Structures are given as C-alpha cells and as structure tokens.
Amino acid sequence: MFSVKRWKITVIFFGIFSGLVGSALISTAWAVSPLDSLPFSLADFGAPAQLLTDDITLALVRPVGFALAHRPYRPATPLGTDFGLDFGAEVTLVKLDPKFAEALQTAQLSSASLPPSIPIPRFQVHKGVGNWLDLGISWIGYSNFIQVYGGDVQVSIYHPTEGPSVAVRFNYSQGNLGFIKVKTLSPQVIVSKKLAYVDPYIGIGYLRTTGEVNIESLLGPLAPYASLLGIVTKNSATAQAFQAFIGLPFVIGPTGLRIAFEGSFVSNGIHMFGTRIGFQF
C-alpha cells in the first residue's frame, strides 16, 4: 500500500531532481553564446561594433553639412523695391574631405572610390523688401535620397550713392543626404562695389553644422540584432569652420540675365567654387 510518507519522499526527490536538471540547462544556455544562433556570419561584416564611432560620424557630418549649406551668390547691394526679384539655379563644386571616403569604407557603407569634388545643384529665389532688407530661399530634392531647404536674411547697413556697400547676412539650411541629416548656420559680412555690369563682392563668415547619422536601414540582416551586438545605429556630431569668399556677379544689359561666379575658402579644407545663372529685375 502506497503510504503518505512515501508519497512525500517521492515529491521531494522529483523536486530536487528537477531543480538540478533546470540548473544544468540554464548553465548550458549561458555557456552558449547567443551570437551562435544568428542567421548569418559576423565575419561578413568586419567589426560591426565599430560602424559608427564619434570620429566616423564627424567625418560624415562635416562635409555633408558644409556642402549642403545655403549659398546666396549675392553682393551687399540690396535688391531694392523697383521690382527687386532675383531667381535662378546654382551649381557648386565642393571639395570632398578625404576623411569622408575613409569613413564610408571604415563603416562598411561603401567600397567605391569617390571623386575629389562633387557638384551640388540648387534653385534659388531672392526678393527685396524695402531698401535695406533682402530675403532668399533655396531648394533641391530628388526622391527621398536628397532633400535640402535653405534661406537667408540680408540686411544692408551701409549703401551710399557712390562707394562700397556693406551688409550682414544670416544663412540657414537643413536637409538630408541618404542616411545623413544636417542643419547648418552661417552668419556673414559682405562688402561690394556696384559697377556698370558687375557687382564684385568679398565676404567672411562662420559655418556651424550639426548632424545625425542613422545607419539602421543599412544594416540589412544585422538590424534586428543591433543592440545585442553592441552596434551604435545613431550618432551625432558638430563641426565648425571659418570661410572667406569672393564673387563676381554680371548682369547682361537690359535682359536681366545674371551670371555669378563665387569661390570660397574654408578653414577645414572643404573649399567650394560655383556659378549661378538666372534673372534679376
């Protein structure tokens, strides 16, 4: 006959046995790396934990932020109120920082070689408001790969009948280039001297760009395991530089056709040269 005492001993025995087996299974589970269960080989991704270091983020944000910065291509001379409209398209050739290509390769984001400079096109419209204030906007976009918006406010602080004009200007732009989003600010001081068909100008300014790099969409099969692998998928950086620039805008007779050339020297080596073609009335 099965007694109550034997039943209690049996229950205690199975409880101890189950505890020992459970402990053994847990120990075995901790002994096996969770990375062994991933559906791909980490060897195919180099060093995934190093994809987005601070240095790589800065090397990506800095050239993109400066390249996409709003550039008015305008002298200190105000547009005025006669009609005061200036519109056109620009193409600026931006010298790439060598660290940009190195950062893309180090982060496993691109293995292709890049040209030393890249062209950045953009549309612009400027309008005079009164005799001392000009407002401008710019835009370029293609699908979801590149979207850039910019604007400037220019205030004439000295504009005599004869002699050089002086103005201060504040530029702002924001946009994205693929997986990189940036915002750039640039205060400037411009001096120009209007002649018959040309209004040459020189200026100095300060560039400050902040940006975020988000590579989560580029990780492919790694994306769901990013936190497990210690991969930083988002990082931000700030870059700044001083610039000096010189421009030659020509107005071709009564047609209103305006062609401007501008070169910019930037203290961190991301120099620029471009042209803008449009009409001014």
% of the chain exceeding 70 in pLDDT: 78
Mean pLDDT throughout 70-80?
94
108 pLDDT band, cuts 50/70/90, is low
What pLDDT does 180 receive?
92
Contacts 24+ apart (CB under 8 A), 258-263: 258/86, 258/88, 260/73, 260/74, 262/71, 262/73
Is residue 257 pLDDT above 80, yes or no? yes
DSSP string, the chain: ---HHHHHHHHHHHHHHHHHHHHHHHHHHHHS-GGGG-SS-GGGGS-GGGTT-HHHHHHHHHHHHHHTS------SS---SSS-EEEEEEEEEEEPPHHHHHHHHHTTS--S---SEEEEEEEEEEEEETTTEEEEEEEEEETTTEEEEEEEEEEEEE--SSS-EEEEEEEEEEEEETTEEEEEEEEEEEEE---SSB--EEEEEEEEEEEEEE-GGG-GGGGGGHHHHT---EEEEEEEEEEEEEEEEEEEGGGTEEEEEEEEEETTS--EEEEEEEEE-
Is residue 2 pLDDT above 70, yes or no? no
What pLDDT does 20 receive?
36
Is residue 41 pLDDT above 60, yes or no? no
Q: Any idea which of 57-61, 180-184, 240-244 has the lowest mean pLDDT?
A: 57-61
pTM of the model: 0.78
Is residue 250 pLDDT above 90, yes or no? yes
Q: Any idea which of 23-37, 126-140, 165-179, 240-254 has the lowest mean pLDDT?
A: 23-37
Q: Which CATH class is domain 42-280?
A: mainly beta
Of 219 and 27, the structure prediction assigns the larger pLDDT to 219
Mean pLDDT throughout 67-93?
92
What pLDDT does 101 receive?
72
Is residue 53 pLDDT above 60, yes or no? yes
What pLDDT does 190 receive?
98
Residues 243 and 52: beta-carbon distance below 8 Å:
no
Is residue 34 pLDDT above 60, yes or no? no
Is residue 42 pLDDT above 70, yes or no? no
% of the chain exceeding 90 in pLDDT: 51
pLDDT, tens digit (0-9, with 9 covering 90-100), for 187-218: 999 999 999 889 999 999 999 999 999 887 77
115 pLDDT band, cuts 50/70/90, is confident
